[in-house]
Amino acid sequence: MTERVGSDTRERLITAAADLIAASPGEDFSLRAVCDAVGVKMPTLYHFFGSKQGLIDAVIEHGFDLYLGEKASMENSGDPIQDIRAGWDAHVAFGLENPGFYTLMYGKVRPGYSPAAQSRPSEILRGLTAEAAKQGRLVVPSEQAAAHILAANIGVTLRQIILAQADQELSRAMREATIAAITGTGTSRGGPLAAAIEVAAANADVLGPSETQLLIEWLSRLNRSSSIS
């Protein structure tokens, strides 16, 4: 009966753990519960994984396989920016569909801790931003663009998980805000003067507070009166 090669038990343990995690995302889970589900005792689990973290790592690895499986097919438009959009959406969708996995991967916040498997999607993303940079489509360094995308993408996904509520409009808005920022292709609404006001406000330290205030007032007057808006 136990002639299975490649350790059937090992995979069943991973599956059982994944099920338990999926059943109560973000919550802690008991190794004994995992063992009971498989019908095995704890030393067996420890034989395969060495520690609870070992099992968790294996589950995460398993989760990333699922994730990258879904994701890989989506990023082949040829246009790196479009691929970044697709990757963003796939990221959010995976997090909302698998909050248990996602929480393990990105929801355990402590300094200096990031599961090894986390680097794989990160590599893909950096490949995309590097390609975009090569095509001259970024106004920031490729590395910073990738960091920006990742932080915002994770942020909006975790937020939706915490609120237990999907918000596709928010995700889209943040996605486009991010892409606009790294490509410098923002759409300005009020014309260059309104934009200049915001730039001035954002860099109040350059001219100093009072000069900046006067500058902004002048620009506002100009904006109201100028024929070329």
Partner DNA sequence: GAATATATGTATCAGTGATACATCTAGTAC
Partner DNA sequence: GTACTAGATGTATCACTGATACATATATTC
Residues that bind DNA (CB under 7 A): 1-3, 5, 7, 9, 28-33, 39-44, 46-48, 50-53
Query: Which run of H or E residues covers position 222?
Result: helix 209-225
Q: How far is the CB of 117 from its own copies (least distance, A)?
A: 15
Q: Structure tokens of 217?
A: 């007032």
Q: How far is the CB of 92 from its own copies (least distance, A)?
A: 11
- Closer to DNA at the Cβ: 51 or 119? 51
Look at residue 30 and give the partner it binds from its own copies, DNA, none, a contact being a CB closer than 5 to 8 Å depending on partner kind.
DNA
| Calpha distance 57→59 (Å, rounded) | 5
| Calpha distance 74→84 (Å, rounded) | 10
Find out whether 99 and 63 touch, Cβ atoms under 8 Å.
no
- Closer to DNA at the Cβ: 34 or 92? 34
Look at residue 32 and give the partner it binds from its own copies, DNA, none, a contact being a CB closer than 5 to 8 Å depending on partner kind.
DNA
What type of residue is 10? R
Look at residue 9 and give the partner it binds from its own copies, DNA, none, a contact being a CB closer than 5 to 8 Å depending on partner kind.
DNA
| Calpha distance 129→146 (Å, rounded) | 6
Q: How far is the CB of 104 from its own copies (least distance, A)?
A: 10
Find out whether 21 and 101 touch, Cβ atoms under 8 Å.
yes
Q: How far is the CB of 223 from DNA (least distance, A)?
A: 56
Look at residue 181 and give the partner it binds from its own copies, DNA, none, a contact being a CB closer than 5 to 8 Å depending on partner kind.
its own copies
Length of the chain: 229
- Closer to its own copies at the Cβ: 2 or 187? 187
Find out whether 63 and 105 touch, Cβ atoms under 8 Å.
yes
